[in-house]
Amino acid sequence: MQLPDVPEEQAIATVHRAMALGINHYETARGYGSSEEILGRALRTFDRSSFILTTKITPKHYQNYRGCIEESLTRLQVDYLDNFDIHGINNEEQVEWVFKKGGALEAVQQAMSEGLIRHVGFSSHGQLEIILKVIETGEFESVNLHYYYFNQRNLPAVRRAGELDMGVLIISPTDKGGRLHRPPQYLRDLTAPYHPITINHRFLLSHPEVTTVTVGAAQPDEFAPHLKALEADGPLTEEEQEIIARLDRQYEKLGNTFCTLCHQCLPCPEGINIPEVLRLRNLAIAFDMVEFGRYRYKMFENTDHWFGGRKAVYCTKCNDCLPRCPEKLDIPALLMEAHKMLYREEGKRKWSD
């Protein structure tokens, strides 16, 4: 629950509507502006046993992690957290801050022994290899990660978490999953008669490993396409399978320029996140998701380890990636095309041949 631009009254009304609908898991973070305080005020009129509460704190605060946990409890106006996620274990530096002596995990375990936290998980915006590494430590009961129809890279982590009986919470399936609350008409037509939000949720919930799909509603009247996904359960229905197959066929529009996102092109000497740039290109061409592509592309170089990599403009055409690409793509040319398609900031470096 991140509320940078939502008035408090609206946010509280949205939470109350969610409770009335039977939605009982609320997930926020210390770093989400005033979200903890607002959520605390929104939930204080409800019986504590009627909802599940998760908050998250980044491991960079490990030197005062206990103090941060206590501050979150105060802001949320509760005596304990049902679940606590160490937030953003995205690279090796964060891994060290979590597991070192006196690190974040040690503080969480002490808080658990005192009843302040009941369950512990972690979230990650990092590469698949980092997520799997942390899962394999066996220290966590759940994982909070990116996985959507439009970004299936982390499927091995979802499956491994399921094998270990860990909870799997999907980060922002509506926004980060494709800005599906503002889908292009072309995408709406492809998922008809359902909203893209509904189809993405059904895709996720058809995975037995996925235990929680977040909603991310900002207004009380935004729940309809989310609730629609609950009308079916278990595996995809025949109609839903046909819609997914229809979506799959859209990638044929890319012809021999389709990137399969195998990640074998990495590392890039210039630090470009080649697979992510080409994923955004895939979506822009196949589904007319240009605005989503621009939204995400703008984040390169602006969000540190939360969305790593540099923009495609920094490609020097060194061609180091070419022999590693199993599809034999002309990666520098595709990077240039993606940059011209998705870059909309002024006063920044332009592509030069």
Full DSSP string of 86-153: E----SHHHHHHHHSTTSHHHHHHHHHHTTSBS-EEEE--S-HHHHHHHHTT---SEEEE--BTTB-T
Residue 168: which H helix or E strand, with range? strand 167-170
269 contacts 168 by C-beta, under 8 angstroms: no
Give backbone dihedrals phi and psi of 183, rounded to 5 degrees, phi first: -75, 145
Distance CA 56, CA 58 (A): 7
The pLDDT value recorded for residue 2 is 46
The pLDDT value recorded for residue 6 is 79
The pLDDT value recorded for residue 4 is 53
Structural domain boundaries in the chain: 8-243, 258-342
The CA-atom distances, in angstroms, between 19 and each of 12, 117, 294, 332 are 11, 22, 34, 50
Tokens found for residue 156: 């091995």
The CATH number of the domain covering residues in 8-243: 3.20.20.100
Four-point Cα dihedral 85, 87, 90, 96, nearest 10: -80
Residues of the chain whose pLDDT is less than 70? 1-5, 345-353
The pLDDT value recorded for residue 134 is 98
293 contacts 280 by C-beta, under 8 angstroms: yes
69 contacts 117 by C-beta, under 8 angstroms: yes
Tokens found for residue 255: 């012809």
| Residue indicated by tokens 């939930």 | 43
The CA-atom distances, in angstroms, between 276 and each of 112, 182, 261, 304 are 37, 21, 8, 15
Give backbone dihedrals phi and psi of 352, rounded to 5 degrees, phi first: -130, 135
Parallel, antiparallel, or unpaired for β 142-145 and 167-170? parallel
Q: pLDDT (tens digit, 9 = 90+) per residue, 197-256?
A: 999 999 999 999 999 999 989 899 999 999 999 999 999 999 999 999 999 999 999 999
Tokens found for residue 27: 């997930």
Three-class secondary structure of residue 38 per DSSP:
helix
The pLDDT value recorded for residue 350 is 42
Three-class secondary structure of residue 154 per DSSP:
coil
217 contacts 223 by C-beta, under 8 angstroms: yes
The pLDDT value recorded for residue 182 is 96
